[in-house]
Chain A
Amino acid sequence: MRFAGLVENEILKISRQRRFRVVVFILVALIGLIVFAQSRGRERFLGGKDWHVRTQERMANIQNWLRDGRMPASSQRWSRFELGRLKYHLERDIDPEAISGPLFTRAFANASSYLLLPLLAIVFASDIVSAEFQQGTIKILLTRPVGRVRVLASKLVALMLAITLTTVFGAAVAYAFGGIAYGYRGWAAPVLTGFRIGGQSFDPAGVRSIELWKETILVFGLAWFAMLCVGAIALLSSVLLRSTAAAMGTMVAALIAGSILPRLASQWEAQKFLFVTCLPLPDYYSGSPPPITGLTIGFAASVLAAWAIAALITAFVVFARRDVLA
């Protein structure tokens, strides 16, 4: 009846299911593939020039495009941002295209926070309640002398642990593979972060230099937070739909829609209140211009947290009250 025992149960169930091995496999295979493909393409892209020269050439190109004036507004915004970012790197004498194992690790957090990491959170969360319904084990689980709220709470804790473990494991695999290709050193190197776009122009006010290891921890922390929020929402869909396939399908559809939406309809500002739009927290924190005006890191994190809390409250209320008839 100890709560720790309940959590232990949930961990046992997560770890003994095949999906756990699938997630591990996906992370290893995917990161391996990314590193391999990237290190191949990179040599051709860099062409052996000094990075100062290369960066100046890129800036000149972007300026030409901007002067040309045929660029759509959203691309103009992005171009100005990129111009400012490159300029800053030149001034501080930091190669914007530099790569190392640690840099790759950070880049992985940015790239995977849209889709891959939330997807893995969904894989764990969407069957955590529905599987009990589908297996029929819910009938034993809820007829033990343990309140339903405690049962669901233990599942939530186990889910959070699984998500944390996935984040740490993803970072470790990224570093391991990145290190093979680019070397394991460079955690202390400075990186520039906090690039922002104010209205249509580049805003240098937030730019600062930070040691890479700190930045990496921060960025993975943000990705982890986003995963937790997605996990909470997926938990709700698992409670409501009682079918793993339906819960996972719904969540994946939402994720994909969310990753397309800002590109297709960046003018629709209200989408900044959707949780899927707010998922790439690491990007909003450190890098690229937000797709929607007004979407700052603080705003996005608050929106995600609000969704997660609302989802959890609904999940707990429904789970505690609903009859189990299936």
Chain B
Amino acid sequence: MADEVLVAEHLTKRFGDREAVSDVSFTLHAGEVLGFLGPNGAGKTTTIRMLVGLARPDGGRIRIRGLDLATHFREAMVHVGSIVEAPDLYKYLTGRENLTHFARMLPKGAEDRIEALAAMVQMRERLDDRVATYSLGMRQRLGIAQALLGNPDVLILDEPANGLDPAGIREMRELVRRLAGDRGISVFVSSHLLSEVELMCDRVAIIHRGRTLASGPVRELLERFEGDRLLVRARPAAAAAERLVAFGASDVETSAAGDLVSARVDAARVPDALRDLVGAGVDVYSVERPDSSLEDAFLQITGGETV
């Protein structure tokens, strides 16, 4: 399919006896942002290293725009820009020299894009300073400019939010969304933060212990795995808890302070549950659906196995 920009099929990588990545498959479609979600050590970076040709898979196949990476590395990599792990650049060179350096490794025309890309990532004023003097956020932005030099169809980003402050994370997120939206670039982005993926990605693939456990549109997955917990601040709490149990909610707990009830209720039945509470004369002060952590989600996905 022309729409499939990057396809990973049954990727496997072994280090000695340990299988770091087992049978991982996913597809990145044109213009979408695919999140690659998993805790640290799940095999995300190893998978990404295989995607960009740094490591050779022991099994499976990677196709980029239909080109097999193992046999057509150079042709395939023309379409790929990447930042693997940290945005490492030559610290003793200036930003401009770094970009020129990597532009020389690309087909003609890459050097002409330096100015425009520097402007896009707001690095124009600092472009002639040495990278050693940059903040991490600036390096990350210059790294993005570097990844975009070849006008790629696919952008592969490994934990782009790592080490950035909240403002930097937001900036990064907006940049990624803009690249996918305005330029139609397909972005593959790994993260160990659920909230990050939720805000940035269209679809998500979840990896745990080297295996893909689930993949699909972000909202759908979130609802499937952890979308049913409800926190209700109500008085009297005991009556509220009683009503919720009667309603069919599970895992009903009352907090020590005595005015907070936690329960699991199907997302679709939440309005009914609330109506029931109010109808029973319970005073409801607030209702929340807290973002459960990735660990919570994994506890469910892996059936109680800890991350």
Contact = CB atoms under 8 A, between A and B. Distances in A.
Interface of A: 1-2, 5-6, 8-9, 12-13, 16-18, 135-137, 139-147, 321, 323-325
B75 A145 contact: yes
Given A13-B93, A139-B88, A325-B55, A5 B150 contact: no
B86 A145 contact: no
A325 B104 contact: no
Given A9-B101, A9-B105, A325-B49, A145 B150 contact: yes
Given A145-B74, A325-B55, 12 more contacts: A1-B107, A12-B93, A13-B90, A136-B85, A137-B90, A143-B80, A144-B102, A145-B73, A145-B75, A145-B76, A323-B55, A324-B49
A323 B106 CA distance: 22
Given A12-B97, A144-B77, A135 B90 contact: yes
Given A324-B54, A325-B49, A16 B92 contact: yes
Given A8-B104, A143-B53, A143-B77, A135 B88 contact: yes
Nearest to A4: B104
Q: Which 4 A-B pairs have the closest CB atoms?
A: A136-B88, A5-B104, A144-B105, A323-B55
Interface of B: 46, 49, 52-56, 73-78, 80, 82, 84-86, 88-93, 97, 101-102, 104-108, 146, 150
Given A145-B150, A323-B56, A17 B102 contact: no
Contacts of A144: 77, 102, 105-106, 150
B74 A5 contact: no
Contacts of B91: 135
B139 to A, nearest CB: 11
Contacts of B93: 12-13, 16
Contacts of A325: 46, 49, 54-55
Contacts of B46: 325
A142 B73 CA distance: 10
13 contacts: A1-B104, A1-B105, A13-B90, A16-B93, A139-B82, A139-B84, A139-B85, A139-B88, A143-B77, A144-B77, A145-B73, A324-B54, A325-B46
Given A5-B104, A9-B104, A137 B55 contact: no
A238 B59 CA distance: 30
B56 A143 contact: no
Residue of B55, B90, B107 with most chain A CB atoms under a 10 A cut-off: B90
Contacts of A9: 101, 104-105
Nearest to A17: B92
A147 B105 CA distance: 10
A5 B100 CA distance: 10
Nearest to B52: A143
Contacts of A16: 92-93, 97
Contacts of B146: 140
Contact of A12 (B82, B101, B106, B108): B101
A143 B82 CA distance: 8
A180 B56 CA distance: 59
A273 B108 CA distance: 48
A316 to B, nearest CB: 16
Residue of B46, B101, B105, B150 with most chain A CB atoms under a 10 A cut-off: B105
Contacts of A141: 105
